[in-house]
Amino acid sequence: MALPGPLLTDLAALLGPRLSTTAADRALHAQSESYMTAGQPDAVVYPNSTAEVAQIAALCAQHGVPLVAWGAGTSLEGHALAVKGGVTVDFRDMNRVISVHPEDMLCTVQPGLTRLALNHALRDTGLFFPVDPGADASLGGMASTRASGTTAVRYGTMRDGVLGLEVVLAGGEVIRTGTAAPKSSAGYDLTALFVGAEGTLGLITELTLRLHGQPEATSAASCGFADMAAAVDCVITTIQTGLPMARIEFLDPATVAACNAFSGTDLPLCPQLLVEFHGSPEGVAEQAQRFGAIAADFGCTGFLWAKATEDRSRLWKMRHDAYRAILASRPGATAVVTDVCVPISALAQAVEETRADIAQSGLPGPILGHVGDGNFHAILLIDPANPQETATAKALATRMAERALGLGGTITGEHGVGMGKLPLMEAEHGAAWAVMGQIKRALDPQNLMNPGKLVPQPKVGS
């Protein structure tokens, strides 16, 4: 759709050069981290305040023009693609730490601030924000997708880390949810409603986040296993014993090979667990000893410690670069990237059946993930010019989701729904999915906030 002339005039008057309709800007905001594509937005805006966002929303509501939020652009299910055109709201310039309250262990930030930039700003406070999805994602985007990552097994997800929000609704009204108090019994939990709403209910313009104390001591290690079953069973036993792991990650042999080639590491080519412990020096030593004993029971070999800061950084950089490493293992390929999450008791079955399914398909499909909380990923490499490979990969991803549901799990543990998993929502939620649609219509009756995502789509003519 072409934007109405009066809307462009009003946006230009409000934003000046921070309104862009150039082909380059529009194309940049039509890209995805995975195989998904969609139409370009008709314009991109770069607000620098909540007041500007509210005015943008009000103007777009007057003209019936969709709004799509954009953070760092690192999502994997096409969340920020403008499938109906309209205006993309890029929060690049709203990237400040507004306030830090060390005594309350919280801070308030703007949505365009990234997690690494926040932790850099917190480095002298003795506090840190622990949610780590791997990519240096924006905190507004992380809240919108209810992100988690490598540390969720110890510190929880964005659901646990967000105490309150400032949100601009579809008509331009600004509301605040939550408080700085540790808990509340006052009415509906609107913060939880917007965390994970993927921008379909409003635009997040401020976040109040829960912080944690920087651990006194940290230790990390990698350890290899003879087969995937042994590694996964080690994870299950570790979690069931209550050992307080800070991270416990799984890499299958294909992922290890790709990481070695990309990052210059030399991990043995077998299933690997990457683990980390936080606490006092004595506590970390005890946790490491207990985990070592559990791992030995499952035939662990090649236990390699990374106690120095630079060694730990190298280990986790390798893990965070795994997606790019896997892409590089098949030059020219793109990926259908999918994740599921299952109860920890079902993890071994889910991983083994997924592995067998991928092997039978003939596609490269390395498996890795945050298995400490039952969440794992498959990166299904495809030739973008080969429709059959794309169809095969999508079918594999659908079977992974259906398998997870059959085991009492979910179609996505952290990637979110976006465009990619929209067809699977009814299978997981049943009639509750329609309730989500009712909430959407109540807050966004014109269907302007990130249309085409998350909820049942309006029928033509309705």
d(C-alpha 217, C-alpha 235), whole Å: 22
Q: Which domain holds residue 15?
A: 5-90
The answer to whether residue 155 is domain-embedded is yes
Q: Say yes or no: 313 and 236 in one domain.
A: yes
How far is Cα 111 from Cα 117, in angstroms, rounded to an integer? Answer: 12
Q: What is the pLDDT of residue 461?
A: 52
Do 106 and 46 have their domain in common? no
Give the residue carrying structure tokens 């365009």: 112
Dist CA 109 CA 69 (whole Å): 16
Per-residue model confidence (pLDDT) at position 372: 87
For residues 380 and 409, membership in a common domain is answered with: yes
- Whether 200 and 225 share a structural domain: no
Alpha-carbon gap, residue 177 to 45, rounded angstroms: 25
Number of structural domains the chain divides into: 4
State whether residue 120 is helix, strand or coil. Answer: helix
User: 25 and 67 share a domain?
Assistant: yes
In whole angstroms, what is the distance from residue 29 CA to residue 8 CA? 18
Last residue of a domain, one of 90, 113, 144: 90
* Contact call for residues 40 and 88 (beta carbons, < 8 A): no
- The helix (run of H) or strand (run of E) holding residue 309 is helix 309-320
pTM: 0.94
In a domain, 445, yes or no: no
- Domain's final residue, options 148, 179, 213: 213
> Which helix (H) or strand (E) is 427 found in, with range?
helix 425-429
> Tell me, what's the pLDDT at 76?
86
> Which pLDDT does position 460 carry in this prediction?
58
- What is the per-residue pLDDT for 1? 61
Amino acid at 458: P
Q: Is 55 contained in some domain?
A: yes
Q: Would you give per-residue pLDDT tens digits along the chain (462 residues)? A: 689 999 999 999 999 999 999 999 999 999 888 787 788 999 999 999 999 999 999 999 999 999 999 999 988 899 999 999 999 999 999 999 999 999 999 999 999 999 999 999 999 999 999 999 988 999 999 999 999 989 999 999 999 999 999 999 999 999 999 999 989 999 999 999 999 999 999 999 999 999 999 999 999 999 999 998 999 999 999 999 999 999 999 999 999 999 999 999 999 999 999 999 999 999 999 999 999 999 999 999 878 888 788 889 999 999 999 999 999 999 999 999 999 999 998 999 999 999 999 999 999 999 998 888 999 999 999 999 999 999 999 999 999 999 999 999 999 999 999 988 999 999 999 999 999 999 999 999 999 999 999 999 877 555
Asked, for residue 453, whether it belongs to a domain, the answer is: no
Residue 442's alpha-carbon distances to 171, 195, 461, in angstroms, are: 12, 17, 18
Pair (187, 127) in one structural domain: yes
Model pLDDT, residue 340:
97
Contact criterion met (CB below 8 Å) for 251 and 322: yes
389 & 425 share domain: yes
Residue 302 gets the label, from left (phi > 0), alpha (psi -120 to 50) or beta, of left
- Indicate whether 35 and 134 sit together in one domain: no
- Domain containing 380 — which CATH number? 3.30.70.2740
- 253, 365, 259: which is closest to 320 by C-alpha? 259
Phi, psi of 311 (to 5 degrees): -70, -40
For residues 272 and 308, membership in a common domain is answered with yes
Last residue of a domain, one of 213, 242, 259: 213
- One domain for residues 312 and 286: yes
- Residue 458 falls within a domain, yes or no? no
Q: What angle do CA 117, 131, 403 make, to 5 degrees?
A: 140
